Structure 1
């Protein structure tokens, strides 16, 4: 009688809400053990999510950390290895958005956004790659890009720039780490019904003289499939990127947006 293989282990950052939460639940449903991360203020949400993951029969670990801080990211990956035994899939999902005209963006706001959306992805990619190379079994590294990584939205200048940079970082990492059996890809959501898009809608409406809700309605008219995305739409695609079905795919940042942007 052969021993049963240990389930693969994934780590999802920014899992306290929205797309990250949906990704964690989908990977657990796929049979992976799933470690979840967010900042300390989301500890309650992580506790609730951990209970849902365990209800699927998967193991979980909860790690609070700021992805912009190198020591915290290294500690996070180390804790996942200690608690769940290994790391096979890294989903660098954590991100923030500022919605304002470029002329009003302060250097401090620019640096804060880049520290999470770009440096945070870079740190998570690197920490995961080091662990996977040490394990010697390859792995999947997946990052959060966006449709604005191909074509910016007005009032989302620094956010758009951060996502363009994630696309380039993903390509470079794919080139460097393929020799270790590691694939690196990213997902590019469009207009998604999340707290982040509620904030974007509110600020866009203010700047365009619209009522709350009108801005997202306006931009939703670009969606060919006729509806705003839900987090589960994105999670389904990340499920593919995390699975063996995508083993021959690397260096790609793929739009999952219902047909807003065409590359």
Structure 2
């Protein structure tokens, strides 16, 4: 999703095959932990932030030509609200998603395109598979990380680990006609941590 020619090709293919994009969901994310070299930082920023920018650029361009409005939905994170221990690039990229979402909403609203993001907390996915145990609790070999995670779980009113369906439900709503007046926001799906 971070290679311009791939995203541009995807937008063209959707236009040829389906008559153009009505809804675009940019749901790619990667994270790296310390030690983080500049190359790792660039990789995280490229996938998480540049990918959303390119999807906005090329799908919005096609959607504007269609003159029927549309929806752009990006993936932010709990990390887009607060820094996370040992993952500096990931929160930086997700804060950028928030800013891009708000700016794109302002720019594209006049064209009938809403731009929003969802911000998951801990969701059981392939990306979190090595950090969440079968019981839904975090696995950590680092005392500082374990303390942070324990505090995170303790502070949530809803204690369960989120599921992919929780995200799918929010995305489905944001993509719907009923969400026509919602733009420029980030909806948290994190068990009420904030």
TM-score (norm 2): 0.90
143, 165, 178: which one pairs with 1:232?
165
Query: Following the alignment from structure 2 to structure 1, what is the Cα–Cα distance between the partners of residues 148 and 158?
Result: 18
13, 18, 23: which one pairs with 1:89?
23
Task: Determine whether 1:243 maps to 2:184.
Answer: no
Listed as ranges, the matches of 1:66-215 within 5 Å are: 67-100=1-34, 104-200=35-131, 205-208=140-143
Give structure 1 stretches of 5+ with no counterpart.
1-66
Residue 219 (structure 1) shift? 3.8
Query: Following the alignment from structure 2 to structure 1, what is the Cα–Cα distance between the partners of residues 12 and 46?
Result: 21
SS of alignment partner, residue 168 of structure 2: helix
Is the CA contact 1:192–1:231 (under 8 Å) kept in the aligned structure 2? yes
User: 1:13-56, CA deviations, whole angstroms, 9 ceiling, x for partnerless residues?
Assistant: xxxxxxxxxxxxxxxxxxxxxxxxxxxxxxxxxxxxxxxxxxxx
Residue 83 (structure 1) shift? 1.7
Structure ranking higher on relative contact order (CA contacts 8 Å, 6+ apart): 2
Residue 69 (structure 1) shift? 0.7
SS of alignment partner, residue 72 of structure 2: strand
Give structure 2 stretches of 5+ with no counterpart.
none
Q: Per the alignment, do residues 126 and 206 of structure 1 end up closer, same or farther by CA in structure 2, a change over 3 Å counting?
A: same
Which residue of structure 2 lines up, in the alignment, with residue 222 of structure 1? 155
SS of alignment partner, residue 254 of structure 1: strand
Residues paired across the two proteins, number:
190
Is the CA contact 1:220–1:228 (under 8 Å) kept in the aligned structure 2? no
RMSD: 2.2
Is the CA contact 1:204–1:215 (under 8 Å) kept in the aligned structure 2? no
